[in-house]
Chain A
Amino acid sequence: MEFPALRLAAVVVVLCVGVLNAAPWGPAQELASSTSTSELEILRIRPNFYMIAGAGANIAVQVGVDGVVLVDTGPRNRVDDVMAAVRKITAAPIRFIVNTSADADHVGGNDTFLQAGQASFDTIANLFPRNYFLSGAVAILAHEAVLRRMTAPTGQVSPFPAAAWPTETFEAGRRYVYLNDEGIEVVHHPAAHTDGDATVFFRRSDVIVAGDLFDMTRFPTIDLVRGGSLKGTLQALNRLIATAIPSLPDVSREVGTSVIPGHGQVGDQFDLLDYRDMIVIVRDHVQDLIDKGMTLEQIKAANPTHGFRRRYGSDTGEWTTEMFVEAVYRNLVEGEK
């Protein structure tokens, strides 16, 4: 009699342990504030707003009754991981995509997400534009300049496949939509990082997606070849600073507008300020050295980024400190184009 009773006890214990281990700490299916997928990290910024980091450029994900709104789609070689991360957040259909620039690490997943979104809707919705967007059920919105950068004149090879091109473009300074219970403003910043930069302001969530105008990992990439400028970058940052609101008058609570940069950690108005001030101070140093009659090479050697180089600088990679100094120098000497 005793042996079966102990065996019963063991079974009960095992069952209890199993139940305890299976019990979730929080609500079922709810993501923690930060989780990872194939080395990508998913950060919960607001109850229905996430940032996917680690794929290269940051990707913003807003979720609601209308489906998924994405800002940027990451680089092409990480599209499967990014898609897995989005699916970890929600099974809702992809509905609306905004590109902040034509950079390859921001638009690489465009076609994949567009097709995934279209596949979520019935054929009629995709065939009849009036139902949703010009492209059918899903749209990719970007400034007109982004489309120009992603395409090529007839007879030349396009840098991106046609399926990845924006389906909706705008020339005016601002475009807006209302999805998932909030107004979403897409604002063009002329001649900043490039000539096609857009930032996306989610008004109810109080989140700004800044793209590469704001990069917490390096000096700003002022791409003069693609229409970028120092003055435009500063103007764009000033506009974002004016849009973002910190915790006032109650400074004891660290709340306020969140700003998702093109790369690196999430920021707020103070981080935008620090970034803008850094650019202004470097600009002033470069101008001072120009005024002393120095050449570009002499100015590079004088290290006008001193004080910020260990934090934002790089001697290797696609955007080095010297490239930044040269961009500032050329803008100051040759003027804005």
Chain B
Amino acid sequence: MCRNLVAVCGLLCGVLWAIAGLSEPTYAQLNASNLPEFEGSWAPTNNEDVSNDSVPVDYMGLPLNEEGRARALSYSESQLGMIERQCQGWAPTYLMTGPFGMKITAQYDLSRGSIIRFTIGAWHDKLPLDIWMDGRELPSRYAEHTRSGFAVGHWEGTTLVTRTTHMKASFIRKNGPPSSDRATMANHFYRHGNFLTLIAVIDDPVYLSEPLIWTRDFQVSPTRLTPIAPPCIVAFEGPTAQDEVPHYLWGKKPEEFMNEMTSKYGVPREAALGFPETLYPEYREKLKVRNNRSQ
């Protein structure tokens, strides 16, 4: 009788354990010793793909389509002086181009031994990015698109793979190349010792002719980064009529803006305008051939 009772209890526990296990197969396991640690403060190395936004017309390396280029060329940075836009912040793609480091924290479900989410902290003009690891579904396509977007993540080996959707329309570079609210961003987080490599694949059916791929490196920061942004106070209240928006009509972008990449760095205008072929090494050969002919 006692033996039967033990068998029954064992069977019951086994089935319950199996049910519990099956109900959360996608949860990141807290105690998985082979997974790298991402939490902490990461300083940018800023040795590649960092913000090319100091020149008004520098869209090099961006596979803009015609619509994207038209939007970029009509953009005026005076838009940031509009009262409603002074505190708007940038899209999550700014993670790849901004000057900041990353403060990564994690929230745990201690009862299940799992990570609920990672959070990449805010910067003064970048909102925090939550990466949900608990297998939750995407929001409805009718749900509000936010400045941070909605990101889910999972492990592929020791790589953290994330996908961000539901982002607001914004810009992929601060000098005007746009991103739409249909854009998505896939990220891969690799840790190599004290370095963290972040790869982003940004897909935007509205403004890009092909996916944009960026990489960026961070290293463990000896100093503690803060995960919170300072308050933003609207300051400038200059006269802006409500039915006027700073922008440039076609062909009206100032020539000194259009020529700056050429005059300062010798970059041909077509390369500065962000055509897809300028992404590839073969384009250098094309430029060499053209330059040789012109000489």
B140-A43 in contact (CB<8A) = yes
Tell me if A17 counts as interface (CB < 8 A to partner B): yes
- List the B side residues contacting A39 at CB < 8 Å: none
Tell me if A315 counts as interface (CB < 8 A to partner B): no
State which residues 39-89 of A face B: CB under 8 Å.
Answer: 41, 43, 51, 53-54, 58
Q: Report which of B11, B66, B71 forms a contact with A13, defined as CB distance below 8 A.
A: B11
Among the listed stretches B229-237, B260-268, B279-287, which one makes contact with chain A, having 4 or more residues with CB under 8 Å of it?
A: B229-237
Cβ of B102 to closest chain A Cβ, rounded Å: 15
Q: Report which of A41, A276, A280, A281 forms a contact with B142, defined as CB distance below 8 A.
A: A41
Quick one: CB contact mask for B126-158 with A, threshold 8 Å, 1 for yes?
Answer: 011000000000011111111110000000000
Tell me if A311 counts as interface (CB < 8 A to partner B): yes
B87-A249 in contact (CB<8A) = yes
Q: How large is the interface on B (under 10, 10 to 19, 20 to 34, 35 or more residues)?
A: 35 or more
Cβ of A42 to closest chain B Cβ, rounded Å: 9
B67-A309 in contact (CB<8A) = yes
For the complex, give the distance between the alpha carbons of A268 and B228 in Å: 23
Given A9-B7, A17-B19, A307-B71, A254-B180 contact (CB < 8 Å): no
Tell me if A33 counts as interface (CB < 8 A to partner B): yes
Residue of A nearest to B1 (CB): A1
For the complex, give the distance between the alpha carbons of A43 and B84 in Å: 27
- List the B side residues contacting A51 at CB < 8 Å: 142
Cβ of A105 to closest chain B Cβ, rounded Å: 15
Q: Which label, helix, strand, loop or mixed, suits the secondary structure of the B interface?
A: loop
For the complex, give the distance between the alpha carbons of A13 and B180 in Å: 52
B169-A274 in contact (CB<8A) = yes
Tell me if B15 counts as interface (CB < 8 A to partner A): yes
For the complex, give the distance between the alpha carbons of A13 and B18 in Å: 12
B15-A17 in contact (CB<8A) = yes
Tell me if B16 counts as interface (CB < 8 A to partner A): yes
Starting from the known contacts A246-B84, A254-B127, 19 additional A-B residue pairs (CB-CB under 8 Å) come to: A1-B1, A5-B8, A6-B11, A9-B8, A9-B12, A13-B11, A33-B139, A53-B142, A54-B142, A251-B89, A254-B147, A267-B145, A270-B147, A281-B245, A306-B70, A307-B70, A311-B67, A311-B181, A311-B182
The 7 closest A-B CB pairs, nearest first, are A249-B231, A9-B8, A307-B70, A5-B4, A53-B142, A266-B144, A34-B140
Mark A residues whose CB is within 8 Å of B.
1-2, 5-6, 8-9, 12-13, 16-17, 20, 33-34, 41, 43, 51, 53-54, 58, 234, 238, 241, 246, 248-252, 254, 258, 264-271, 273-274, 276-277, 280-281, 284-285, 288, 306-311
Mark B residues whose CB is within 8 Å of A.
1, 4-5, 7-8, 11-12, 15-16, 19, 65-67, 70-71, 74, 79, 82, 84-85, 87-89, 122, 127-128, 139-148, 168-169, 180-182, 205-207, 228-229, 231-234, 242-245, 247, 249-250
Q: What would 12 A/B residue contacts be, using CB atoms closer than 8 Å?
A: A1-B1, A9-B8, A17-B19, A54-B142, A238-B243, A249-B231, A249-B233, A265-B145, A270-B168, A307-B71, A311-B67, A311-B182
